[in-house]
Structure 1
Amino acid sequence: MTWQYIPVPQPDPCWTGSVFVAGWQPVTGELTVTDPFSGGQLAVVGACSTREIDRALTASLAAQPAWAAARQARISVLSAAADAMSAGGDALVAWLVHETGSSVAKARLEVGLAAAELREAAELAKLTFDHPLPGDKRQSTTHREPIGVVAVIAPFNFPAHLAIRAIAPALALGNTVVLKPHPCAAISGGLWLAGMFEASGLPAGVLSVIPGDAEIGEALVADPRVGQVTFTGSVAVGQRIAETAASQLTPTLLELGGNNALVVLRDADVELAASCGGFGSFYHQGQVCMSTGRHLVHESSVEAYVQALVNYADRLQVGDPADSKNDLGPLINARQLARVDGLVRRSVAVGSELVLGGTNSGLCYHPTVLIDPTRRSPAWQEEIFGPVAVVAPFSDDQDVVAIVNEQGPGLVASILCADVDRGSELGARIACGIVHVNEPTIDYQIGAPFGGWGASGNSTIGDRTSNVVNFTKSKWFTRRLVIPQR
């Protein structure tokens, strides 16, 4: 196999001292973009103040009616953006690798997903959503209209894909968008996308990109001109956004991740199960909302499963993500490293067995395996967002659903088994938004509904039905030929 090294990308000059608000506009604020692996500076880009939020929302409101009326333009722009994403994907791959610590393989997957989301959105823009209602003496229809201005607050882990997953259907259905990327992904989750859309013919004001800190995001959410807020990130921040938006009765779409469970039944192939579990816990350094946090393994298989999981982890190469031979790169920043390591150390202190890992090289946290027979450690109870697998035994298939559900509703669970019917029966009783049988917890399909329950979020996004409900508002419209006598 030929290994490849992805060189450090060069920033676009228009990013320096500017943000994308009805075109590139100069600002005085600055945001330094760094490489989490090397610590080196990649770029200094413009950062927003509340003045830019006002300019962005003013431009969005002005541009929205014409954009909503121009169906063919929406189809053309989204199709062109999909082509541009595919054609320019190597540049975005480089930014994902160096700005966010993505492995080369993960970055390429993300670019492909983003391009596919854009193509799906172009198809969505072709559809109409007016439906007749029964009635003898009048015409009665349901009608869908754009919400107006959609605020998208995107995360750092899959910054391009998770921004596009909201931006694309919102634009397709006639809305304008103000995007606030995560500060650790200002380019790959924001400014690079702005340039791509601009080159694809997107009219000025239809999309604004406003890099900045949490204060900027809070001001955006609180503004009454925002018709809807879409957020992907932590539960704590999601709760804060919901509280702020509620003061304006602004609808929110919150995708908040979860402490996902993988269940290995007595009859499962242990080696295959461990490969699913290892992928689920360690992919992209565990920084995925669908990562496997809890491995529930039948007591008869725990020893063999843990050994197979250790063997899987030992094969993973950890290091510079720009080198394609490495499977895992750094965590996003020092704060996240301290949080992950703290969870591991506190778990060991209360009785968990550290089987592998628990160490780091710079921001690279080595794949870690814990056994927690009591299911009471911090690493079992909390979403880790790092490359840590926590294994606990169970004795009875009847009890395992209760164990999965004991921490409340969530995002995704997987059941691994030989008896698929038995696995499906158990899966139907698990309280979360996504259930897989004989798949890892990390799985995504364009056009499939994606969302969690309870603390994992309040929305489903991704399929056409959900996107129409999410990004339009309903109107009941009636018409009579003459005024009735009452």
Structure 2
Amino acid sequence: MNTQFEHIFINGEWRKGSSEKTIKNINPYTEEEILTIQSANEDDLNEAYEQAKQAQKSWGKELPQIKRGVLEKLVQVMNENKDFILEWLIKEAGSTAMKAEAEFQAAMNIVKEASTYPYRIEGSILPSQTPGKENRVYRDPLGVIGVISPWNFPFHLAIRSIASAIGTGNSVVVKPSTDTPVTGGLIFASLFEEAGLPKGVLNVVVGRGSEIGDAIVAHPVPRLISFTGSTEVGRHIGELAGKGLKKTALELGGNNVFIVLEDANLDQAVESALFGKFYHQGQICMATNRIFVQEDIYDQFADKFIQGVNKLQAGDPKEKSTHIGPLINRSQVDRILEDIDKTVQQGAEVRTGGEASGNLLQPTVLTGVRNNMPLAENEIFGPVAILIPFKDEEDVLSMANEFPYGLSGAVHSGSLERGVQLARKVETGMIHVNDQPVNDEAHMPFGGEKDSGLGRFNGHWVLEEFTTVKWVSVQHEKRDYGPFSNL
């Protein structure tokens, strides 16, 4: 397997980027440099898009069994290199061993689902209002797709778009986050290269946002931009794409709710909340942001929850006993500590945690939080839990839907029907009853509402995103054009 990760990858060739700037790849736990990459500039990006455009012409026409065969081979290559992939996820993304394993399996499920897409590209024949006419609808690839991948679940969230695009006959140019250039981009160049993907179908450009961030969206070649990241950046991407009349698939920020009703199974709710909040240090778009607990059981839930948090181990992500690894960089730690301080100043209480060493932030719980405090209003994206009391369902719905986000969520209740009815009233793209918000299945529609994004990934929903339809009518019999006929 090729490991020239200090290079970029264009048209099947590993080469140095053309920018004068470099990107240092840093281990977030040890804060040591892993490698240095020569950045790509706009010339590299332009070549990547042009090569992708040429490669797509033949790839889009390739037989379905050939497309499927490449993705099936990718499954084999991923399994053969699993330990290598997990090692990179731990040292580059700060993944715990548990999270790295789960991310690998999620990515594997995506590739297996995508391998079915070449045989699921369906057209249709529809009736016509015109005598002797047949209406045909053909479904075709969009062409070239630009993918901007994030740093939190880089392997899974990058392959979600890459494999789906390739499985539907498109070619791809990937710009990974500069925090995870390997697991969010370059590693796929190696994996697909070994799987036999034709040159030019996948290209990876590692570059700074200041040099190629806007250009990867505004370039005239791509017809869709797939982005996973913050709402602020997603909105900017949407504006740039709109100017070029491009499609976008945007999975953006969340302020996800976890609602515990007074009839809930308390132990189950606590265990679920621990996972949904602290899995991968809370650095997940779907992670729980606000834990709402009905007043009658608030203190009891808080005591049990804090007991569980105090058992979590924070430390080296390589150790299998570690629950909480490092945040991706110090700026994330400082941002969260500032919001903790502001929230405490407004009357909340830190019940456990609240201390940081390097990029490692101790698992933290605050009680006495109100919905208008900084930690409630902002997406935390870290190992900090806030507990907010509520009176009744009307009260919690008002708070849950107050902010302009709607990605995921959870409701716990002893009555499944009560839980479902409340869940349907929460304005969100996904929500889970008697579970936690971090769920992603390769065949289920993944995406948010409001400021949490546009479009849906996975299953047949991504076929709609990554393809287009063409109406071709066929006039089998001579048509009567009225006064224009027989002139």
The aligned counterpart of 1:107 is 100
Which of 170, 176, 184 in structure 1 is aligned with 2:165? 170
2:399 aligned partner = 403
Which SS does the other structure have where 1:220 is aligned?
A: helix
User: How has the CA–CA distance of structure 1 residues 13 and 142 changed in structure 2, closer, same or farther, with 3 Å as cutoff?
Assistant: closer
Q: Which residue in 2 is equivalent to 1:6? A: none
Aligned residue identity for 1:184:
D
Residue 373 (structure 1) shift: 4.2
Other-structure match for 1:158: 153
- Counterpart pick for 2:368 among 356, 369, 372: 372
- Which residue matches 2:355? 359
Whether 1:88 aligns to 2:66 is no
CA distance in 2, matches of 1:17, 1:134: 54
CA distance in 2, matches of 1:62, 1:372: 59
Output the TM-score relative to the length of structure 2: 0.95
* Residue 125 (structure 2) pairs with residue 132 (structure 1): yes
Give the Å deviation of 1:319: 0.5
Other-structure match for 1:195: 190
**Given the alignment, which residue of 179, 182, 199 partners 1:184?**
179
Is 1:27 aligned to 2:17, yes or no?
yes
1:15 is matched with 5
Partners of 1:214 and 1:290 in 2: CA distance: 25
Following superposition, the deviation at residue 42 of structure 1 comes to 1.0
Give the AA of the match of 1:62: Q
> Are residues 1:250 and 2:246 paired?
yes
Q: Which amino acid is 2:184 matched to?
A: G
Aligned residue pairs total 475
1:240 deviation in Å? 0.9
Gap change, CA 1:132 and 1:13, over 3 Å in 2 = closer
Q: Which runs of 5+ in 2 are unaligned?
A: 482-487
Say whether the 8 Å CA contact 1:85–1:114 is kept in structure 2: no
Are the equivalent residues in 2 in contact too, given 1:22–1:59 (CA < 8 A)?
A: no
**Superposition deviation, residue 128 in structure 1:** 3.2
Aligned-partner Cα distance in 1 for 2:310–2:11: 47
Counterpart-to-counterpart distance in 2, 1:473 and 1:421: 39
Shift of 1:443: 1.3
Is contact 2:121-2:168 (8 Å) kept? no
1:61 to 53, 58, 64: 53
1:383 aligns with 2:375: no
Where 1:54 maps in the other structure, the secondary structure is helix
8 Å contact 2:18–2:43 — kept in the other structure? no
2:318 aligned residue: 322
- TM-superposed CA distance for 1:401, in Å, is 1.7
Q: Residue deviations 1:393-417, cap 9 Å, x none?
A: 0111233222211113411121101
Residue of structure 1 equivalent to 2:115: 122
User: Which whole-Å CA distance do the structure 2 matches of 1:321 and 1:157 have between them?
Assistant: 14
Contact 2:11 2:200 in 1 (8 A): yes
Q: What's the % identity of the aligned pairs?
A: 34
1:439 aligned partner: 435
- Distance (Å, rounded) in 1 between the aligned partners of 2:454 and 2:173: 21
Deviation at 1:217, TM superposition (A): 2.3
Return the offset for 1:156.
Answer: 0.3
State yes or no: 1:480 paired with 2:475: yes
SS in 1 for 2:308: helix
Specify the code of the residue in structure 1 equivalent to 2:167: A
Gaps of 5+ in 1: 1-10
State the AA in 2 paired with 1:187.
V
- Three-state SS of the structure 1 residue aligned to 2:179 is helix
Q: Give 1:343 shift.
A: 1.0
Q: Could you say which residue in structure 2 is the equivalent of 1:48? A: 40
- Give the aligned residue type for 1:484: R
The answer on whether the counterparts of 1:141 and 1:476 sit within 8 Å (CA) in structure 2 is yes
Q: Is the 8 A contact 1:118 1:164 kept in 2?
A: yes
SS of the aligned residue for 1:432 comes to: coil
Equivalence for 2:220: 224
Closer, same or farther: CA 196–99 of 1 in aligned 2, 3 Å: same
State yes or no: 1:73 paired with 2:69: no
Cα distance in 2, alignment partners of residues 410 and 169 from structure 1: 24
Distance 1:31 1:121, change over 3 A: same
- Give the superposed CA RMSD: 1.4
Aligned counterparts of 1:289 and 1:16: Cα–Cα separation in 2: 29
Letter in 2 for 1:430: V
Q: SS at 1:253's partner residue?
A: strand
Taking the TM superposition and a 5 Å limit, the aligned residue runs for 1:302-341 are 302-341=298-337
Q: CA deviation at 1:308?
A: 1.2
The answer (yes or no) to whether the contact 1:450–1:461 under 8 Å persists in 2 is: yes
How much does 1:45 deviate?
2.5
Contact residue 253 and residue 405 of structure 2 kept, 8 A? no
**More moved, 360-369 vs 40-49:** 40-49
Alpha-carbon displacement from aligned partner over 1:316-373 (angstroms, at most 9, x marks no partner): 1111101111111100001111111111111111111111111112111111111234
Query: What is the aligned partner in structure 1 of residue 485 from structure 2?
Result: none
- SS of equivalent residue, structure 1 residue 431: coil
Deviation larger for 392-401 or 285-294: 392-401
Report the Cα distance in structure 2 between the residues aligned to 1:28 and 1:249, rounded to whole angstroms.
29
Q: Work out the CA distance in 1 between the residues paired with 2:254 and 2:458.
A: 18
Give CA-to-partner distance per residue, 1:151-190, whole Å, 9 cap, x none: 0001001101000111111111110000111101101111
Preserved CA contact (<8 Å) 2:10 2:51: no
Q: Distance in 2 between matches of 1:175 and 1:15?
A: 24
The one-letter code sitting in structure 1 at the alignment partner of 2:209 is A
Give the one of 253, 257, 260 matched to 2:256: 260
CA 1:373/1:190 → structure 2, altered by over 3 Å: closer, same or farther?
Answer: closer
Question: Separation in 2 of the partners of 1:46 and 1:483?
Answer: 63
1:82–1:116 CA contact under 8 A, matched in 2: no
Task: Write the distance in 1 (CA, Å) between the matches of 2:438 and 2:153.
Answer: 13
CA–CA distance in 1 between the matches of 2:252 and 2:159? 17
Deviations 1:211-270 (A, max 9, x none): 111131211101111111000000111011111111111111110030100000011122
TM-score normalised by length of structure 1:
0.95
Note if contact 1:17-1:28 (Cα within 8 Å) is conserved in structure 2.
no
